[in-house]
Amino acid sequence: MNETVVLKDLQINAGDNILVNKTSIVIEEGEIFGLVGESGSGKTLTAKAIINLLPKGLSYSADEIITAGKNMLTASAEEKKEHIGKNIGYIPQNTVFYLHPMIKIKNQIGDGYVYHMHKTKKEALEKAEALLYKVGFKYPKIVLNYYPWQLSGGMRQRCNIAMALMNDPKLIIADEPTTALDSTVQRQVMDLFRTINEEMKLSILLISHNLGLVKHYSHSLAVMYAGQIVESGYTNTVFSNPKHPYTRLLIEIIPSFKIKKDERLAEIPGLAAENGRDIKGCVFFKRCPKAMDICKEMVAEHIDDKHDHYYRCNLK
């Protein structure tokens, strides 16, 4: 099995403050990989590190960052930009309002295709029309002539997905793509991601605070807490045998697949840790119902033989 993303031991800092650390992810070719965690846990920054889009002022280090076959740690700035533009479709957080509301769809959807793939505007519009049809618009020519403000949230998100598909990417990163949508529309948009994944065989990094949604749609997942991945593995394995107390609590709280508009990750008792705090020991120490004295000082990493289940915890 080839990998679309290999991220090893990522650390992201804002000055002395560690925002993300000890973070490793492998996304296999053709899979939907769910990255789940509460607000501020480091999901967006991790995704941005993969595609070389970290905000200015932040620094990072990693043992390995391979994105769609390219080593991001050795490529030049120019090479990285070109590679990402051609191979990754990115749907940033809050993109339901990402398209410029006052510019017609046809004048925004093909820009990246013209720029990165060296195509004409006409070729871009032909491709956009086909993709708008694919994402569910019966009359794509009409949609191309709409302004985004004339479309519903769900329709705009479909346009964003079509736009992300323009360059035939190997990976789509979708950061909370359904949070601002009503539940039926959320399901339709998520079903569309699944269809795209199955038909086009591309990998999807699905970032979500909704564990129920990730369970339903992803093949593998990673659970983030306070800037670290506390557990990861194949979705079936993690759900049938969750190891980390944080994952267990989340699973207990969200027993079934339900998605509601703007739903946040269910609350568990205690204050959320600040990222990077107590990194000598376990980041979940203060909230953990099973915490032991040793957890303040160190935390064990478990990787099984087949590398399909990882967790950071002192419990066996």
Ligand X SMILES: Nc1ncnc2c1ncn2[C@@H]1O[C@H](COP(=O)(O)OP(=O)(O)OP(=O)(O)O)[C@@H](O)[C@H]1O
Q: Where are the alpha helices (DSSP H) in 59-109?
A: 77-87
**In 3-state terms, the chain is what percent helix, strand and coil (to 5)?**
35, 25, 40
Which partner, ligand X, Mg ion, none, binds residue 236 by CB below 5 to 8 Å per kind? none
Binding flag, residue 178, Mg ion (CB under 5 A): no
Minimum CB separation of residue 190 from ligand X in Å reads 17
Minimum CB separation of residue 138 from ligand X in Å reads 34
Binding flag, residue 44, Mg ion (CB under 5 A): yes
Which partner, Mg ion, ligand X, none, binds residue 37 by CB below 5 to 8 Å per kind? ligand X
Minimum CB separation of residue 175 from Mg ion in Å reads 6
Are 20 and 11 spatial neighbours (Cβ–Cβ below 8 Å)?
Answer: yes
Quote the CA–CA distance of 72 and 65 in Å, as a whole number. 5
Quote the CA–CA distance of 145 and 141 in Å, as a whole number. 7
Measured from the CB atom, the residue of 58 and 251 that comes closer to ligand X is: 58
Measured from the CB atom, the residue of 167 and 275 that comes closer to ligand X is: 275
Measured from the CB atom, the residue of 34 and 110 that comes closer to Mg ion is: 34
Measured from the CB atom, the residue of 93 and 107 that comes closer to Mg ion is: 93
22 closest CA partner among 299, 289, 241: 299
Which partner, ligand X, Mg ion, none, binds residue 41 by CB below 5 to 8 Å per kind? ligand X
Q: Which residues contact 217 (CB under 8 A, 6 or more apart)?
A: 32, 34, 190, 193, 194, 206
Measured from the CB atom, the residue of 58 and 114 that comes closer to ligand X is: 58
Quote the CA–CA distance of 206 and 98 in Å, as a whole number. 18
Which partner, Mg ion, ligand X, none, binds residue 279 by CB below 5 to 8 Å per kind? none
Binding flag, residue 210, Mg ion (CB under 5 A): no
Minimum CB separation of residue 177 from Mg ion in Å reads 12
Pairing verdict, β 32-37 and 203-208? parallel
Q: Give the chain's length.
A: 316
Binding residues (CB under 5 A) for Mg ion: these are 44, 93
